[in-house]
Structure 1
Amino acid sequence: MRYAVRTSLRSTGLVVLLGVVMTMLDTTIVNVALGTLAAEFHTSLADVQWAATSYLLAMSMTVPVTGWAVGRFGVRAVWLVSLVLFIAGSALCAAAWSLGSLAVFRAVQGLGGGLLQPVGQVMLAQAAGKERLGRAMSLISVPAMLVPVLGPPLGGLIVQGPGWRWLFLVNVPVCAVALLAALLLLPRGSGSLHAHDEEPANGAGRGIGAGQRLDVLGLALLSPGLVALIYGLTEVGNGASLLHPASWIGAALVAVFAVRSLRVTSLVDLRLFRDRTFAAAVLALACYSAAMLGFTVLVPLHSQLAEGGGALEAGLLLAPLGIGAALTMPLAGRLTDSRGPRGVAAAGVVLVVASIVAFLLTGGGYVPMFTLGLGHGLVATSVMAAAYTTLEPSAVPAATTLSTIVLRLAAPFGVALLTVLLQVFTRAGAAEPFTPAFWAAAGLAGVSLLPIALIGSGTWRRSSSAPA
């Protein structure tokens, strides 16, 4: 039985890695080609930015339907359809004849990519079971950390070599292999939610989507709300006013959805927050992700504006972070499975905060970035695993949908918060305007220790000792 579980996790992990690696890469690989695309389509750099923005917004739009789609059709079917969408979008992007067509085709890519990441997480959690969640989360965390860092250098090589269309064509053979692997390795009907699945005692997470109609009104509120809110926060981070109308419209739509979902069975099951460990893990991830994403945006700016470095030097400064995280993520997975997530996550946060402070006090450098990566690898894997430990299998798709939505909002919020601080102190004529923003990043990361302390350990010990 243990061998069968291990084999299932390995095969599922292979399928997920093949599927998500290109979607993660596409979040950054196109950024280096924006100037080339502006020249190709005879437009401005501001206009061509929509080639990147449309992909990210489309990814956010599809996340709310993940739980319903998995419950209704099963993860295998949703995974295959998402791959086909991503491959089709990639091929169409390579054939784009105008900026408008490229933005539309990038949105098609994003529709597929937005489903692949949370559905892959669902598949890993279901294949691992509670006793191997740490190792399962490390499988997806390593490429999630490394691939975006490698994206800009790889994109530069492709643009200077075969040309910008190959930024998208390179996806086709990789995703075709992923599609073949999914057809061969994923059993038919995998991930479907059955009526006999055990329900949580508090009634939360009953597998929304299993035998239920799509909540059309909820979708009409939440998807546009997320897109507007993320877009507005992104614009604020780029220097727009805090009163950007998209932010407030998006926040209002999301708030209406939240109030409604507490009264009726809705697209996203907010009742999952009644589970203390799940709620604590998601809150910790939100605080921590906001700090880390904001910090990694400020680091290249600091290198270029404060130290006079070039674009390549600024990009390479993030490489030690990815290397350090890749080293500790597998270790974090094993420690989480054997000892529980709370101590691993707390140690990681302490190391991250110390590394940010060291970066601030020493004026930057590769060593603090490397130790930051070591801490990040401990936090990301352990807290992601903790989110699932007290949930029943039927609640996993709904939990993944909910946690993904929170994290998609946390990232632009963190970037907006820290860049606004940078702008405020720059306008005030501060000698070191980056300093308050870096301190804020350290403080926000440190706040995540509070919800981490609420993550239970007794339930983990019982589940991790269960036979595989």
Structure 2
Amino acid sequence: MGKQAGVALEQERQEAASKKMMWILVIGILAPLFDTTITNVAIDTLARDLNATMSTIQWVMTSYLLALGMVIPLTGWAVERFGGKPMWLFSLTVFLLGSILCSLAWNVESLIFFRIIQGIGGGLLMPIMQTMGVRASGGQKMGKTMAVAGLPALLGPILGPVLGGLIINNLSWRWIFFVNIPICIVAIIMAWKRLPKDESETNTQRLDLLGLLLLSPAIVLIIYGLGEVGTNNGFGHAAVLVPFVAGVLLLTAFSIHAFRKANSALIDLALFKVRSFTVSSMLLFLSGLTTYGSMLLLPLYYQQIRGESVLISGLLLVPQGIGMLLTRTLAGKLTDQIGSRPVVLVGTILVLLGTLPFVQAGTDTNLIYLSVALIIRGAGLGAIFMPVMASAYLDLSTKQVPHASSTTRIMQQIGGAFGASMIAIILQNQLAAQPTQDIAARAIAFDQTFLWSLCFTALALIPAALLPRVKKVSSVK
């Protein structure tokens, strides 16, 4: 009995230390997540104040995303080589420097360049956070760990558009970047003082330079090509096809290279031999169609069909975030108790039910009715992300965790770019197909696009049914 009590006490101590560390990391990740949603809201204002065309100002977002995609493959090696805490502090410092420079930008060209610096810091943060969280938990109670890790991703869509609207309506656009500075400073101080040092020795393995030269450009080209879909009204344009095909070819070349190098490659492809990781990666990609696509579609519906302002549109989307918060903790607990499969299946069904009212929404659909639908939709989204992320780390070794964090983030980024581009082109085609361009016709176009989004969400039921049904006794080994 004494031995069992000692084991239980040690587990409680580890869980408390893990939870404390995760909350310190959450503070740091808030800045890049808020930054993305706030900057999205401010694009029109930036174009006007910096005397830039929309095609140019889009690079304020694109440069950030491309820089983010470029550095993600590096995180696994960097954490192994230098340790989690030093890399976390480095990433926060780079993001802080990028934010300060962006707030001081004197024209659109300088802002685009400084956003690249921001993207380098932001791209490193999320995979490092996941790696440190999984290692600290020892693979136990992954549902709770991911529930804390996923909190900023839920708060961003709730508070970001509202905060962005308030800044745009009342302050200079420079405050979009000023708000990051105090968050980063607090996060750096707390991490410096309270994050534990890495207990394991750092790995002296050399960087897989050829793998980096293949994989980073591949991700950048694929994301860039998908980002050009909306601008060029379809996939059949050189601006879309050339970078996308080049990216796929580089990705194929990296896969061949990685198989040859095995576990010394930049990304260990042996991860995909683990069923739970492969299925989770598929779901993370598909989540781009439901999450990132809706982040584009829902605000546009309220602004273009309902005629709401940016601030009011942000406030009308708050119910979706509330729904996410309602299921976050419960989804984490249930994942630890019964496995991720039933939780994700129920979550996906809730997303379907919450999206259905928008398939028939018009110019005067009751806003309370739509808000309730958004709460249900948000509850479903909140029940999907954490269990999927927890499943991704089942049956992985400690050495594989950094590689898994980089790979899952890559899947999310490419899936997000794919989802946003698909929804954008479907909406444009539906708008072009309407015989008139009055509000009623545009509402029909939005209804048809929401129907497509509904179908994409239903596809996720297939891999969700392949997730683990029961809790595994051992996770990270």
TM-score by length of 1: 0.90
1:362 shift after superposition: 5.0
Structure 1 residue aligned with 2:6: none
1:218 pairs, out of 203, 211, 233, with: 211
The equivalent residue for 1:272 is 271
Q: Secondary structure at the match of 1:28?
A: helix
- Are 1:28 and 1:148, in contact at CA under 8 Å, matched by a contact in 2? yes
Q: Give the distance between the partners of 1:240 and 1:212, measured in 2 at CA.
A: 45
Q: Aligned letter for 1:293?
A: Y
Structure 1 Cα separation of the partners of residues 244 and 221 of structure 2: 6
Change (3 A) 1:185 1:289: same
Counterparts of 1:191 and 1:112, CA distance in 2: 24
1:314-334 Cα shifts (integer Å, max 9, x gaps) = 333321111100111111111
Shift of 1:251: 2.4
- 2:121 aligns with 112
How far apart are residue 230 of structure 1 and its match? 0.7
Amino acid at match of 1:168: F
2:301 paired residue number = 302
Match of 1:336 in 2: 335
State whether structure 2 residue 257 is matched by structure 1 residue 257. no
When residues 165 and 310 of structure 1 are mapped into structure 2, their CA distance, relative to the original with a 3 A threshold, is: closer
Segment of structure 1 superposing worse, 307-316 or 263-272: 307-316
Q: Does 1:447 align with 2:459?
A: yes
Alignment pair present for 1:417 and 2:428: no
Alignment gaps of 5+ in structure 1: 194-209
Q: CA deviation at 1:61?
A: 1.0
Quote the RMSD (CA, aligned, Å): 2.2
Structure 2 equivalent of residue 2 of structure 1: 11
How big is the shift at 1:153? Answer: 2.3
Q: Which runs of 4+ in 1 moved over 6 A?
A: none
Which position in structure 2 is the counterpart of 1:320? 319
Corresponding residue of 2:394: 389
User: Does structure 1 retain, via aligned residues, the 8 Å contact 2:26–2:151?
Assistant: no
The letter for the 1-side match of 2:393 is Y
**Structure 2 residue identity aligned to 1:298:** L
| Residue 170 to residue 302, structure 1, CA distance change in 2 (3 Å) | closer
Which residue number in structure 2 is paired with residue 31 of structure 1? 40
Conservation of the 8 A alpha-carbon contact between 2:226 and 2:417:
yes
Q: Return 154-163 or 408-417, whichever deviates more.
A: 154-163
Q: Which runs of 5+ in 2 are unaligned?
A: 1-9, 436-440
User: 1:75, 1:191 within 8 Å by CA — same for their partners in 2?
Assistant: no
Which residue number in structure 1 is paired with residue 284 of structure 2? 285
**CA–CA distance in structure 2, aligned partners of residues 166 and 141 of structure 1:** 26
Residues 1:237 and 2:230 are matched in the alignment:
yes
Give 3-state SS (helix, strand or coil) of 1:433's partner.
helix
User: Contact conserved, 2:165 with 2:310, CA < 8 A, in 1?
Assistant: no
Letter in 2 for 1:72: R
Give me the whole-angstrom Cα distance separating, in 1, the residues matched to 2:291 and 2:43: 25
Paired with 1:342 and 1:145, the residues of 2 have a C-alpha distance of: 21
Q: Provide the rounded CA distance (Å) in 1 between the counterparts of 2:118 and 2:200.
A: 24
Deviation at 1:386, TM superposition (A): 0.9
1:58 aligns with 2:67: yes
Deviation at 1:191, TM superposition (A): 6.1
What's the CA shift string for 1:104-140, capped at 9, x where partnerless? Answer: 1111111011001110111111112322211111112
Residue in 2 that maps onto 1:12: 21
CA distance in 2, matches of 1:90, 1:304: 29
Q: What is the identity percentage for the equivalent residue pairs of Structure 1 and Structure 2?
A: 39
Partner of residue 428, structure 1: 433
Write the letter of the residue equivalent to 2:59: W
Offset of residue 347 of structure 1 = 0.7
Deviation at 1:263, TM superposition (A): 2.5
In the other structure, the counterpart of 1:463 is 474
SS in 2 for 1:463: coil
Stretch moving more, 381-390 or 246-255: 246-255
Given that residues 288 and 418 in structure 2 are in contact (C-alpha distance below 8 angstroms), is that contact kept between their aligned partners in structure 1? Answer: no
Worse-matched range after superposition: 249-258 or 339-348: 249-258
Alignment of 1:114-129 (within 5 A): 114-129=123-138
Partner SS, residue 140 of structure 2: helix
Hey, what does 2:405 align to over in structure 1?
Answer: 400
Change in Cα spacing, 1:456 to 1:152, as seen in structure 2 (3 Å) is closer
User: Offset of 1:24 from its aligned partner?
Assistant: 0.5
CA 1:113 to 1:4, structure 2 compared with 1: closer, same or farther past 3 Å? same
Superposition TM-score, scaled by structure 2 size: 0.88
